[in-house]
């Protein structure tokens, strides 16, 4: 069953990683609902191709693009600054950009790439845009996670950068666990502000993820794609979380096929979520009281 069509006219949705896979399919679906879409991507040429596609299919949609690498904190800050300088409202931030690396690499900031893009990118961009999301009184943060979060064990806070030992799948699985924990902690900290946060499992999707790992990975990904969900099908739950009125009744939940699912034990550790938040503040250089929702420590 596809995500219900909701009238999104007058609402702005920022979608990261929108040039392929889930991001592209979701941007098209949101534009079809009347949303103003702001896509964030690394490659301007690929981004323009998607904007042109949306323009051809949904000529009345307001669509824009911001260029930045979600693994580079300087780029993330520039993207956020450019959007904030526009003075536009922001109703939904859809954190979707992600990577899967067979070999360990590091970003310009010196962080392991999978963790940097898949978690720190979500964390930093969200925090930089929190004030704008709160202004609407109905802000949403949606994060693309994965059922793989169950398979990597709890986070090793002594080796979040996988310096002692790197293995592609465990690194990816732990980054997806970080997405789930981040969503829970954001929901807790934003309780009562009108902003909600949810994450979701898209299923096994035939997308561009992992094709950056060389010829064999591209061949293997292409070979198994007939057995995978389409990006449009995989993105349905993300679009649902961006638009459905009923999901505002709760926050911090994990969804699959547009239904909330109970979390596995590995993700039911509030102390891990809180610690990850604090560590992430340090790794992104944000103030220690960023995102707090208490009388004692006001939000910066």
Query: Long-range contacts made by residues 82-90, C-beta under 8 angstroms, separation at least 24?
Result: 83/14, 83/38, 83/129, 83/132, 84/128, 84/129, 84/132, 88/12, 88/36, 88/38, 89/11, 89/12, 89/132, 89/135, 89/136, 90/12, 90/14, 90/129, 90/132, 90/133, 90/135, 90/136, 90/139
* Sign of the dihedral through C-alpha 48, 52, 55, 57: negative
Q: For residues 195-230, b (16+ Cβ closer than 10 Å) or e, as one string? A: bbbbbbbbbebbbbbbbebeeebeeebeeeeeeebe
Which is the catalytic residue, given 111, 149, 172, 254? 172
Among 158, 14, 25, smallest CA distance to 86 is for 14
Per the annotation, the verdict on 172 as an active-site residue is yes
Q: Please list the active-site residues.
A: 172
């Amino acid at each position: 069953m596809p995500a219900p069509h909701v009238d999104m006219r007058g609402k702005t949705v920022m979608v990261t990683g929108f040039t392929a896979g889930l991001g592209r399919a979701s941007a098209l679906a949101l534009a079809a609902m009347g949303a103003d879409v702001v896509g964030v991507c690394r490659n301007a040429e690929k981004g323009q191709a998607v904007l042109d596609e949306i323009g051809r299919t949904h000529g009345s949609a307001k669509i824009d693009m911001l260029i930045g690498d979600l693994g580079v904190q300087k780029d993330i800050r520039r993207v956020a600054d450019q959007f904030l300088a526009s003075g536009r409202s922001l109703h939904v931030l859809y954190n979707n950009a992600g990577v899967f690396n067979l070999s360990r690499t590091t970003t310009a900031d010196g962080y392991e790439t999978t963790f940097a893009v898949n978690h720190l990118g979500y964390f930093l961009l969200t925090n930089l845009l929190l004030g704008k999301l709160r202004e609407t009184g109905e802000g949403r943060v949606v994060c693309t996670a994965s059922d793989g979060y169950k398979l990597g064990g709890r986070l090793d806070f002594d080796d979040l950068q996988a310096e002692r030992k790197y293995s592609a799948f465990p690194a990816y699985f732990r980054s997806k666990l970080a997405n789930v924990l981040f969503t829970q902690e954001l929901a807790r900290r934003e309780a009562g502000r009108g902003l909600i946060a949810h994450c979701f499992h898209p299923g096994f999707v035939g997308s561009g993820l992992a094709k950056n790992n060389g010829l064999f990975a591209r061949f293997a990904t292409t070979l198994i794609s007939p057995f995978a969900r389409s990006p449009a099908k995989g993105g349905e739950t993300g679009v649902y979380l961006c638009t459905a009125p009923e999901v505002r009744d709760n926050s911090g939940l994990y969804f699959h096929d547009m239904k909330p699912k109970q979390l596995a034990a590995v993700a039911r550790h509030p102390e891990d979520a809180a610690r990850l938040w604090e560590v992430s503040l340090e790794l992104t250089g944000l103030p220690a009281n960023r995102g707090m929702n208490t009388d004692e420590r006001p939000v910066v």
